[in-house]
Amino acid sequence: MNIDQNTLSAFLTELMGESGVISETADTSRYTTDWSGERLGEPLLVARPRSTQEVAAIVGFCHRHQVPMVAQGGHTGLVGGALPDAERPELVISLERLNRIRDIDPLNFTLSVDSGCVLQTIKDAAAESDCDFPLSLGAQGSCQIGGNIATNAGGLNVLRFGMMRQLVLGLEVVLPDGRIWNGMHALHKDNRGYDLKQLFIGAEGTLGIVTGAMLKLFPKPETSRTALVAVPDVSAALALYAQARRSCCDLLCAFELIPRACLELALEAAPSLSDPLESAYPVYVLFEVAASGPVDLDAMIEHLFEKGMEDGHVLDGVLAANDTQANRLWQIREYMVEGQQHRGEHLRTDISLPISSLSEFYDEASRAMIARSPDTEIIAYGHIGDGNLHFNLLPPPDLDLAAKQALLHELEGELFAIVERYQGSISAEHGIGRVKQAPFLDGLSDLERELITGLKTLFDPDDLMAAGRILPRRA
């Protein structure tokens, strides 16, 4: 950094006016935390551009004056990727004011948008045009689409619609030197040379700042059905999944595993919820099918139930009769996460495995955790239709904080070693950021490290943009 903070502040104020810059410590607290629970450093300043041109001007200035910078969206990240560095102060570039829906084209099934637009706003705009933007996350009321793109967000409907990557047709990106790359194409097929936008999706802001996106829409579902099914074990849940993919003609949007311990956490967090079935069962599956046209979803699900009962995969189940009942079933899924939060210190993971290994992995990992710490509670739920498990751990409540943390760290290492043996991933959807960096680097081959370092250096030779995320900061 070859200027002082006052010069930077003066430049930003000149560019965007007083409201475009935040420098008081009191005002920056919202920019120093996210859902990861981490808290790293204070920002140099917070810039709040309202246009792509302003972002480009800020980044260009930072590039000329070697000012480290990091882009921020809705602060719902889970790996601390957007938090300001603790050791080398960074300019936070918040996209919160770059938040317009630019255009919607229902016949082309596309919607173009500024990157600071909140996901829910996009979903609502699509719905108003009889379309659907299918990305669905717990954070959708506050996360921004730019962050969803930077982290290649996943969520509940990946099974049918893919990750964020599959929902992006075009991007507009400010590169680390301040130049704007305009790749805002609204084309469903385009094979003109290298597909540059793929580089920025999932790069966690390290190769450029996404300022605009052309999103892919789908027909709005007219009907949907939600069901909760009790099964004897994870293996039966997977057999049901294989059958459901077929019986439901890939109209299956979500397929969630909820072991009994998770259901009980939800009941604990929300006393208004009641046990959804008359008896308690070891494992549940919560799933949803949706259709935009005339299809008999009830018949489809009944056929699946009957087949599952016959094959012994299904013990009991309930099909929501209306939206209110469906919402109550989905509340189990939401309150389960809240219940886990209430228990305090815990290990949250985000792993994925080949679906065919999930059951074996689940059993082996559970045994290994309990062998090491019999009083640790396993809270392992997730999007098993995508092979994605949140295999979380609640440490024994009687330990003090330091002991809990030490235990969880050790268990995490053991769990990740098992994940590696099963050729799984330690980050299915949350990304790497800072929180997952150490195990990520451990699993990286020399060749891979060389390639990703090469890409980073090609786009950001001075290591100024989101440095230290994914890869360690240079020098």
Task: Scan residues 42-101 and list those touching a second copy (CB under 8 A).
Answer: none
CA proximity to 219, closest of 255, 251, 256, 171: 251
Q: How far is the CB of 92 from a second copy (least distance, A)?
A: 23
Cβ closest to a second copy, residue 101 vs residue 455: 455
Q: Which of 95, 201, 236, 237 binds a second copy (CB under 8 A)?
A: 201
Structure token pair of residue 369: 């955790």
Binding mask 103-142 for a second copy (x = CB under 8 A): --xxxxxx-------------------x------------
CB half-sphere exposure, 8, CA atoms < 13 A:
30
**Does residue 152 belong to the site contacting a second copy (CB under 8 A)?**
yes
Member of 34, 288, 429, 463 binding a second copy (CB under 8 A):
429
Establish if 211 lies at the interface with a second copy (CB under 8 A).
no
189 is an interface residue for a second copy by CB under 8 A:
yes
> Which residue, 99 or 425, has its beta carbon nearer to a second copy?
425
Query: By CB under 8 A, how many residues form the interface with a second copy?
Result: 91
Task: Tell which residue, 330, 291, 412, has the closest CA to residue 136.
Answer: 330
Q: Which residues contact 419 (CB under 8 A, 6 or more apart)?
A: 351, 353, 361, 365, 425, 426
Buried b (16+ CB within 10 A) or exposed e, 113-124: bbbbbbbbbbbe
| Best CA proximity match to 351, nearest among 336, 361, 340 | 361
Q: Which is nearer to a second copy, 27 or 363 (CB)?
A: 363
Which residue bears the tokens 């004897």?
232
Query: What's the closest the beta carbon of residue 202 comes to a second copy, in angstroms?
Result: 5
Least distance CB 370 / a second copy (angstroms): 26
Restricting to residues 329-358, name those near a second copy by CB under 8 A. Answer: 352-357
Exactly one of 203, 210, 227, 258 binds a second copy (CB under 8 A); that residue is 203
Q: Indicate the residue among 61 and 200 with the shorter CB distance to a second copy.
A: 200
343, 356 in Cβ contact below 8 A?
no
| Nearest by Cα to 219 from 295, 290, 272 | 290
Secondary structure (DSSP) of 164-229: GGGGEEEEEEE-TTSPEEEE----S---SSS-THHHHTTSTTSS-EEEEEEEE-EEPPSEEEEEEE
d(CA 379, CA 258): 9
151 scored as a contact of a second copy (CB under 8 A): yes
DSSP codes, 298-334: HHHHHHHHHHHHHHT--SEEEE-SSHHHHHHHHHHHH
User: Binding to a second copy by residue 417, rule CB under 8 A?
Assistant: no
One character per residue 380-399, x = contact with a second copy (rule: CB under 8 A): ---x--xxx-----------
Q: Are strands 168-174 and 180-183 parallel, antiparallel or unpaired?
A: antiparallel
Question: 281: helix, coil or strand?
Answer: coil
Per CB under 8 A, 467 contacts a second copy: no
Whichever of 104 and 118 has its CB closer to a second copy, that residue is: 104
Among 12, 174, 426, 467, binds a second copy (CB under 8 A): 426
Cα–Cα distance between 473 and 475 in angstroms, integer? 6
Q: Which stretch binds a second copy (CB under 8 A): 28-36, 329-337, 392-400, 428-436?
A: 428-436
Residue 218 carries which side chain, given as an amino acid letter? F
Least distance CB 139 / a second copy (angstroms): 15
Which 252-311 residues touch a second copy, going by CB under 8 A?
291-296, 299-300, 303
- Residue nearer to a second copy on the CB measure, 196 or 403: 196
Q: How far is the CB of 294 from a second copy (least distance, A)?
A: 6
